[in-house]
Amino acid sequence: MITTETHVDVAVELRDVVREYGSKQARVRALDGVGIGFARGTWTAVMGPSGSGKSTLLHCAAGLERPTSGQVLLGDRELTAASERELTALRRKEIGFVFQSFNLVGSLTAEQNVALPLRLAGRTVSTKEVRAILSEVGLGERLRHRPRELSGGQQQRVAIARAMITRPSVLFADEPTGALDSRSARTVLGLLRSLADDSGQTIVMVTHDPAAAARADSVLFLSDGRIVDHLTRPSTRQVADRLAVLED
Ligand SMILES: Nc1ncnc2c1ncn2[C@@H]1O[C@H](COP(=O)(O)OP(=O)(O)OP(=O)(O)O)[C@@H](O)[C@H]1O
């Protein structure tokens, strides 16, 4: 995660992004001039007190929400200049999103859930490819299981496989371990680590958990809608200490 170095290959970049909610009297500035570039192949954690703008940053970067002003660039394409139609196509092809609550379709098997983004994009579904990615996340033996037949950690791994099936340029994760016990959380974090290390996947993850953040390459801290600090390869203790000061 680098802001100014021009030789770094940046997967997604926010330039002076402001996001406000509400009308005049009740206006909230959730992001207050955020400028940041996420280098390709790196995993960045986003932390900060409740209400500091973490989810808003993630949603703006992923093209799920439009900023009030400023620019968002995915590679060399400007999301903020794209039409709704172009944005939908870009989201389907270039962006993977993982949520705290998994958001799998309950009536579909693991295999069918993973194939869904390809079907939605009107692309041919290769059973081999779907099975390969489920094996990659350690669920090669669970292809026909429905979400209710899987543990939380397994469901999240299906959700990651589903997000990865289109080989997105960026994988966004909003508290991906927030609903998991610590053992499942470790498995999911190990999976994200190997996606960054072995597949060069760019990952941007919001988390409240210092131990989860410490698995990333760098940690970005938000406070009142602004980036106030970032740490490279910090320990859990360093992340927790930095956060404690911001939460005071
Ligand atoms: N749809 C919305 N309408 C009005 N205000 C909103 C909306 N979404 C977010 N906000 C406000 O914007 C600010 C930032 O919210 P955001 O959800 O990005 O924070 P966060 O850091 O992700 O918080 P948390 O850790 O509690 O999930 C908060 O003050 C929040 O109340």
ipTM: 0.97
What does the angle CA 247 – CA 185 – CA 218 come to, to the nearest 5 degrees? 55
56 lines ligand 1 (CB under 6 A): yes
Closest CA to 43 of 228, 189, 244: 189
Which run of H or of E encompasses 202? strand 202-206
243 lines ligand 1 (CB under 6 A): no
CA 235 to chain centre: 21
54 lines ligand 1 (CB under 6 A): yes
Largest CA distance in the chain: 55
Instruction: Identify the bridge partners of residue 28 per DSSP, sorted by sequence position.
Output: 21
Q: Judge whether residue 168 has pLDDT over 60.
A: yes
- Please give the Cα distance from 114 to 129 (Å, whole number): 10
For residues 164-173, average pLDDT? 95
pLDDT band at 3 (very low <50, low <70, confident <90, very high): low
The residue whose CB lies within 8 Å of the most ligand 1 atoms, and thus the one to mutate among 46, 56, 224, is: 56
Q: What's the pLDDT score for residue 5?
A: 53
Nearest CA to ligand 1 atom 12: 30
Q: Which listed CATH number (3.30.457.10, 3.30.1330.120, 3.40.50.2300, 3.40.50.300) goes with 10-102+169-247?
A: 3.40.50.300
For 63-96, the pLDDT digits (tens) are 999 999 999 999 999 999 999 999 998 988 899 9
46 lines ligand 1 (CB under 6 A): no
51 lines ligand 1 (CB under 6 A): yes
Sequence-distant (6+) residues with CB within 8 A of 129 are 165
Cα(69) to ligand 1 centroid in Å equals 17
Q: What's the pLDDT score for residue 236?
A: 97
Structure tokens at 64: 């799920």
Cβ atoms of residues 110 and 138 within 8 Å? no
Cα(49) to ligand 1 centroid in Å equals 11
Q: Which long-range contacts (CB under 8 A, 24 or more apart) does 178-181 make?
A: 178/100, 178/207, 178/208, 178/209, 179/100, 179/101, 179/102, 179/152, 180/152, 180/153, 180/156, 181/152, 181/153
| Index of the ligand 1 atom closest to the CA of residue 175 | 27
247 lines ligand 1 (CB under 6 A): no
Nearest CA to ligand 1 atom 24: 50
27 CB neighbour count, 10 Å cutoff: 10
| Index of the ligand 1 atom closest to the CA of residue 48 | 21
Query: Full-prediction pTM beyond 0.90?
Result: yes
For 106-144, the pLDDT digits (tens) are 999 999 999 999 998 888 889 999 999 999 999 999 999
